[in-house]
Structure 1
Amino acid sequence: MSKSDTAEFRPDWRFWIIYVSLFLISFAAAVDNTIVFTALPSITQAIGGGGQYVWIANSYVVASTAIMPLFGQISNIFGRRIPSIMAVAVFALGSGISGGAHDIAMLIAGRTIQGIGCGGIFVFLDIIVCDLVPLRWRGQYLGPIVGAAGLGSTMGPVIGGALVKESWRWVLYITLPFSGLALVVMMFFMKLQYTPELSWRRRLMRIDIPGNALFVASVGAILVGLIMGGTIYPWKSYRVILPIAIGFAGWAAFSLYQLSPRWCPEPTIPPRLFNNRTSAIGFVLSFLSGMLLEWIVYFYPLYFQALQGASALKSGVNTLPFNACLMPAGIAAGTLMTKTGIYKPLHAAAYALTAIGLGLTATLKTSSSIIAWVFFQLILAAGIGCTFVTILPAIQAGLPESDVASSTSLYAFFRGFGFIWGVTIPSLVLNSHVDRGLHTISDPFVRDRMSNGGAYEFAAHGNIQRLPREGRSQVLDLYTGALRLSWLASIAFALLGFILVLGEKHIKLRKELNTEFKMEEVKMADKEHSEANGASTPNAADVDVRDTTLHA
């Protein structure tokens, strides 16, 4: 049996310090992504700009998503340490600008800067874990990081609601302590090997500036169109259709540009990432996973608010079964993948469970019991949680370690891109069904409030429960059918994921880690300190494996 078959990954104290800092900044970045939702009324009341409230939250999303592939290329050119520190610093700078904003333009600018930093953070989190952990163990260590992000997204609105009572500025300042702590740890303890062979000027010239400019502009146009559709302008408006069409055309041009070695010698998204069938399928699965996660997070609260009359806070509490079980499900899936070395059955089970959970959710009515929706959420958490930690190692199984940064940044982008569609598609289904059924509502004022994309907002503000009994019954029937149709539509995407999994190939998950970005060698003083504290001396096989990986 070879050394790589018997080796075990044994992280040292330096790894755990870095890992905890990554956990904290993952939580902080995710909190910042959702914390402004409950504070928007107070913010717009204080500094104005109520008509631009959509961009306070979504400027962050657009900036963080479109920039992700660029960070992958930068990390290959400049190493991991400096770019990741800069990403956290940019995130902190955006937090400070946002918290100190005196008008809506300054706030949106600050949120955009925060989003750029957040995009880098989420890319570098996964890249650094992949640099420090061999492929076989990555799922196990990615689980808590992803779980921290999920917990942060869930806690964001709750934290925002609590802080806004003191001052809306603290809603935006709250991430600064996390950022500061992460910066200190990263500067003093995150010592990753990297030996640049070129000057700063030559390295800057390696950045695919034309490609990144085209990609960011194209994806930004698509996201702007999707965000404006149904909120600022009707979906049939040219102001929505035109940027989406231009964005996809630009994305196609970007793809052709990346395929040309003459014009693009060092592409941001190397076409070779898609040459491997399992990797190509994995990118699509990451998109579907992000889409379905956002679908669930966005529409489960609507079910509680519309059909059960829950407040925004109560609906958040009612979704705790899903949110609380995401991290344990991810950790369990990552641990199982580490123990068995397989991922295809886990992917199949994940999308099958998601499809089953969505199908059961489609049966929910006003009279559904607590046991029912808690059980359905647990099934969904098991499925979605599994996908979030097992897809990236599968993507990287068929790629060399030199493609870790490119594959990780593209995986993060597709997942983030899926988040936007996970709001857009169910909103289209909901509003379309409501518009077709408005003739069943006798109150003309209610019909007007619910028409042309107003269905979600009407239900989310508790308007249904204030209606007279007859009118309330009519509206509840319409929402029951609309939500059922939306959940049924989501099943199609879960089943698509299940079918795609069948096309994956089993590739052995490497136990060795051959990367130029590994942790710096431990100094002799550190070794003597470890031995003095009872650490056992490693055997020859362990030394050989660790010297090619972490030296951990």
Structure 2
Amino acid sequence: MAESGGIMSSDAPVDQAQLSATEKHEEEIQVAQPETFKHSWRVWCVFLVLCLLSFISAIDATIVTTSLPTITRDIGGSKEYVWIVNSFLFTSTVPQPLFGQISDIFGRKNPMIFAIALFAIGSGLAGGAQSPGMLIAARTIQGLGSGGLYVLSDIIVCDMVPPRHRGPYLSAILSTAAIGTTIGPIIGGALALKNWRWIFWLNLPASGLGFLAIVLILNVKYKRSPTWRHALARVDFLGNAIFVPSMGVKGVTPLMSGVYFLAFALAIMPFGGMAGVFMSKTGLYIPLHWLGFALSAIGIGLFSTLDENSSRAACIGYQVIASGGTGIIFTATLPSTLAALPESDVAVATGTYSFVRSFGLVWGATMASIAFNGEINSHIDSVSDQTIRNLLIDGGAYAYAAVQHGGISDLPEPSRDQVINIYVRALRVVWWIVTSISVLGFLCTFIEKHVELRKSHSTEYGLADKESTTNSLEKGGEQVVSTVSENT
């Protein structure tokens, strides 16, 4: 070897040989996809498991909403009920970018197994909770696992499927999540009549099935870090440390409210599916953004015209329009986000996107509640009964709408009409706010630049047989050792 003062020369043959062997090794562990994407049985199996995991994690975001009165009567916590819901929402949102970074270091399989385990442990503890504090802690653990399931499902789909063909897959996963979110209150209300603990325990068999499927089927190639120090150095601990701490009118029951909302969830699937097919066939996504925001603005704008006398057909029809916009936007957003990025940035970018989407859910609910409560307070004088005014003011209107006995439908006239009128006025402002956001998104599509969706991709994290992965790694290591020995 050529040396100078004990330091290897930069043009020494051994360095070139090592570099060549290393580059060849890296090429071998990458999965180069053919021009024509093939839907293998393993792709379908992994995809169905991801849909299942997305479904059960989405259910738990809303399943306690109709069962909270039953739960709090059993274990207490009437004052802490907000945190039983929000602890899950916040903890499922915050860790998503971190899961994206970790999946680049440890591959997709191990973080997914860890996320499933967290979700299952949290579900088991929640089902056995004997106090509000234990239930909140269990929901926190459950939320951390759910956050991993959200982001890793999208990442794995992007690893398996080229950009041009991702739309239908992502649409199906988002659609199952949307259905889970919608039927959650229905399932929760039904189970609460029997035994509320099964609301959480039902997650255990589904988690077990998902766990086994991921362990047995999801064989993924990834580039191991040479040392733990090198691996941990790739995690943005400072950024995450700073980032994490910074985060009814119709007179029907909450259960029936969930049933009414089914139209919105079910309409997401066909619209999202059609958007995915269109994107796969044409490679275009800007027209989908334009159409999605337009439908969303129109549908939600029509919501503001609804009142207690509106027909069921109007309620369902307007939901379908708004849902169509949501399904199209959800399907077309992630593929277009990743279009301009190399495959090496898929995990981090998907984690960030997934966080922003979930963060939007949290802030959307927060903005809506602030506007709703503000409008109630502003017009509270229109209710003549002082006792009822005290029940509605300062955030009480939201909880009062969910009261089944002695609620709005049981009020005497004219108090009933007065209360319904104030709810309609408050909700109308909420719809106007959401409509304005959709209009802003619509206007932004006119300055959006198109980036071509690739029909093939090369990734270090694609599906591979365990045997071929091991052989490839061993072969690459032998080449480097052999080359170093020969040149030394």
TM-score (norm 1): 0.76
1:413 to 344, 352, 355: 355
Indicate which of 207, 217, 220 corresponds to 2:235: 207
Q: Using the alignment, how far apart are the partners of 1:32 and 1:491 within structure 2?
A: 28
SS, match of residue 310 in structure 1: coil
Q: Are 2:321 and 1:379 aligned?
A: yes
Deviation of 1:522 after TM superposition, in Å, equals 8.9
d(CA) in 2 for partners of 1:5, 1:417: 33
Q: 1:434 to 1:50 in 2, by over 3 A?
A: closer
* Native 8 Å contact 2:63 2:187 kept in 1: yes
CA apart distance, 1:205: 3.4
Structure 2 unaligned segments of length 5 or more: list them: 1-31, 469-488
2:432 maps to amino acid? L
The amino acid that maps onto 1:472 is: R
Letter in 2 for 1:369: S
Relative to 1, partners in 2 of residues 1:507 and 1:392: Cα closer, same or farther, differing over 3 Å? same
* 1:51 counterpart SS class: coil
For residues 100-132 of structure 1, give each alpha carbon's deviation from its aligned partner in whole angstroms, at most 9, with x where no partner exists: 222222211111011110001101000000000
- SS of 1:469's partner is coil
SS of 1:180's partner is: helix
Q: Is the 8 A contact 2:183 2:258 kept in 1?
A: no
SS in 2 for 1:179: helix
Match of 1:78 in 2: 106
Structure 2 counterparts to residues 475-490 of structure 1, below 5 A: 475-490=419-434
How many Å apart are 1:51 and its aligned residue? 1.5
Q: Distance in 1 between matches of 2:467 and 2:241?
A: 43
> How far has the Cα of 1:6 moved from its partner?
9.7
**Structure 1 residue aligned with 2:217:** 189
CA distance in 1, matches of 2:234, 2:294: 43
Q: What is the CA distance between 1:29 and its match in structure 2?
A: 0.6
Distance change in 2, residues 1:423/1:197 (3 Å) = closer
1:95-494 to structure 2, matched below 5 A, reads: 95-219=123-247, 302=248, 306=249, 308-462=250-404, 463-494=407-438
Q: For the structure 1 residues 447 and 197, does the alpha-carbon distance in structure 2 shift closer, same or farther, using more than 3 Å as the test?
A: closer
User: In the superposition, relative to structure 1, how do residues 338 and 24 fare at CA in structure 2: closer, same or farther (>3 Å)?
Assistant: same
For 2:272, the aligned partner's letter is G
Contact 2:183–2:262, Cα closer than 8 Å, also in 1: no
Match of 1:508 in 2: 452
**Larger CA Rg, structure 1 vs 2:** 2
Q: Deviations over 1:474-527 (max 9, x none)?
A: 222222222222212221100111112222111110011111101115979xxx
Shift of 1:35: 1.2
Tell me the equivalent position of 1:535: none
Higher relative contact order (CA 8 A, sep 6+): 2
Letter in 2 for 1:516: E
Q: Secondary structure at the match of 2:458?
A: coil
Structure 1 CA distance, aligned partners of 2:262 and 2:151? 27
Equivalent position SS for 2:314 = helix
Structure 1 stretch displaced more, 363-372 or 374-383: 363-372
- Alignment partners' CA distance in 2, 1:5 and 1:36: 43
Alpha-carbon contact 2:91-2:147 (below 8 Å) kept: yes
Give the aligned partner of residue 47 of structure 1.
75
AA matched with 1:145: I
CA-based RMSD of the aligned residues comes to 1.7
1:34 maps to 62
Find the counterpart in structure 2 of residue 7 from structure 1.
35
The one-letter code matched in structure 1 to 2:218 is M
Distance in 2 of aligned mates of 1:157 and 1:5: 42
Deviations 1:145-176 (CA, angstroms, capped at 9, x unpaired): 11111111111111112222232211111111
Q: Secondary structure of the equivalent of 2:306?
A: coil
Residue 47 of structure 2 aligns to a residue whose secondary structure is helix
Output the CA distance in 1 between the equivalents of 2:371 and 2:267: 28
Aligned partners of 2:105 and 2:225 also within 8 Å = no
Deviations 1:448-494 (A, max 9, x none): 11111222222232522211121112222222222222212221100
Q: What is the match of residue 23 of structure 1?
A: 51
Q: Which SS does the other structure have where 1:390 is aligned?
A: helix
Separation (CA, whole Å) in 2 of partners of 1:486 and 1:58: 20
Structure 1 unmatched runs, 5+: 220-301, 525-552
Q: Say which is worse superposed, 152-161 or 454-463, in terms of deviation.
A: 454-463
Q: Distance in 2 between matches of 1:370 and 1:96?
A: 39
Aligned-partner residue type, residue 43 of structure 2: F
* Residues 33, 457 of structure 2: 8 Å contact kept: no
CA–CA distance in structure 2, aligned partners of residues 355 and 394 of structure 1: 21
Tell me the distance in 1 between the aligned counterparts of 2:210 and 2:193: 27
Moved more, 480-489 or 410-419: 480-489
Structure 2 counterpart of 1:345, which letter? P
1:381-413 deviation per Cα after TM superposition (whole angstroms, max 9, x unaligned): 110011111100000011111110011001110
Q: Distance in 1 between matches of 2:232 and 2:239?
A: 14
Q: Hey, what's the Cα distance between the residues in 1 that align with 2:296 and 2:107?
A: 38
Q: Quick one: distance in 2 between partners of 1:72 and 1:332?
A: 28
TM-score, with structure 2 as normaliser: 0.86
AA aligned to 2:201 is Y
1:210 is displaced (CA, Å) by 2.1
Aligned to 2:474: none
